[in-house]
Chains A and B, each alone.
Chain A
Amino acid sequence: DAKTTQPTSMDCAEGRAANLPCNHSTISGNEYVYWYRQIHSQGPQYIIHGLKNNETNEMASLIITEDRKSSTLILPHATLRDTAVYYCIVSRSGGGADGLTFGKGTHLIIQP
């Protein structure tokens, strides 16, 4: 699986949109971009994934650049409960034989 690069930490004001960037310049054509988050001392939670088109669900939006070398996770109206570590992962599948490779992620802190 390709590696990803994320900022170590970010702040965002409550009620504003949180935009979390991720670089994955060596992504292969058959690899998806997955986002998970982990609230302190809990198991990670799936957020969203995409291949090349932008995706949206009830939690977030995922914007993938045309060359697929980077992506942005958008939480449209951040709340204090969104404070967590956010992981950007590239993988051929979410439940693949080799599991998922989690880096250190971005610690997003939502400020009141």
Chain B
Amino acid sequence: DGGITQSPKYLFRKEGQNVTLSCEQNLNHDAMYWYRQDPGQGLRLIYYSQIVNDFQKGDIAEGYSVSREKKESFPLTVTSAQKNPTAFYLCASSRARGSDEQFFGPGTRLTVL
């Protein structure tokens, strides 16, 4: 089945450790996105990528890093510089700019202890 895979669904880390969240899509989409969601809130854009080897900061990029070495993969690293990393992280993809919709993965819930 075509879609977006995020793993793991739940992730626990100690404070001060970097952690990388996986996002893979087999939809042949050019664009990929990372969002963060806090309890009771909407989604906020962290990073986006319109094409391989290129990505742009979103509204809340501080403390995060990404890479886009392959079209189907867009991993997100939550660094120790992120002050409040505990959140629900969502990855999305879409066809090239101007696409009608974004397709979302199931999300990864990160808890930093």
The interface bits of chain A over 68-112 (1 if a CB of B lies within 8 angstroms of the residue's CB, else 0) are: 000000000000000000010000011111111111110000000
Q: Which residues of A contact B4 (CB under 8 A)?
A: 43
Q: Are A98 and B45 in contact (CB under 8 A)?
A: yes
A99 and B98 form a contact (CB under 8 A): no
Main secondary structure of the interface of A (DSSP, over half): loop
Which has the most chain A C-beta neighbours within 10 Å: B4, B40, B42, B48? B42
B84-113 CB mask vs A (1 if < 8 Å, else 0) is 000010101011111111111111010000
Min CB gap A30→B, angstroms? 11
Interface size class of A (residues with CB under 8 A): 20 to 34
Q: Is the C-beta of A45 less than 8 angstroms from some C-beta in chain B?
A: yes
Interchain CB contact under 8 A, A102 and B43: yes
B17: interface (CB < 8 Å): no
Q: Is the CB of B101 within 8 A of A49?
A: yes
Indicate if B75 sits at the interface (CB-CB under 8 A): no
A87 to B94: give the CA distance in the assembly, Å: 18
B45 close to A99 (CB less than 8 A)? yes
Residue B33 at the A interface, CB < 8 A?
A: yes
Known: A95-B94, A99-B45. A49 touches B100 (CB 8 A): yes
Q: Nearest Cβ distance between residue A9 and chain B, in whole angstroms?
A: 12
- Name the A residues within 8 Å of B105 (CB-CB): 43
Contact bitstring B14-54, A, C-beta under 8 A = 1, else 0? 00000000000000000101010000111111001010000
B77 sits at the interface (CB 8 A): no
Contact A93 B42 (CB under 8 A): no
* Residues of chain B at the chain A interface (Cβ within 8 Å): 4, 31, 33, 35, 40-45, 48, 50, 56, 58, 88, 90, 92, 94-107, 109
Chain A to chain B contacts (Cβ below 8 Å), 15 pairs: A41-B88, A41-B107, A42-B107, A44-B43, A44-B102, A46-B102, A93-B97, A93-B99, A95-B98, A95-B102, A96-B97, A96-B98, A98-B58, A103-B42, A104-B40
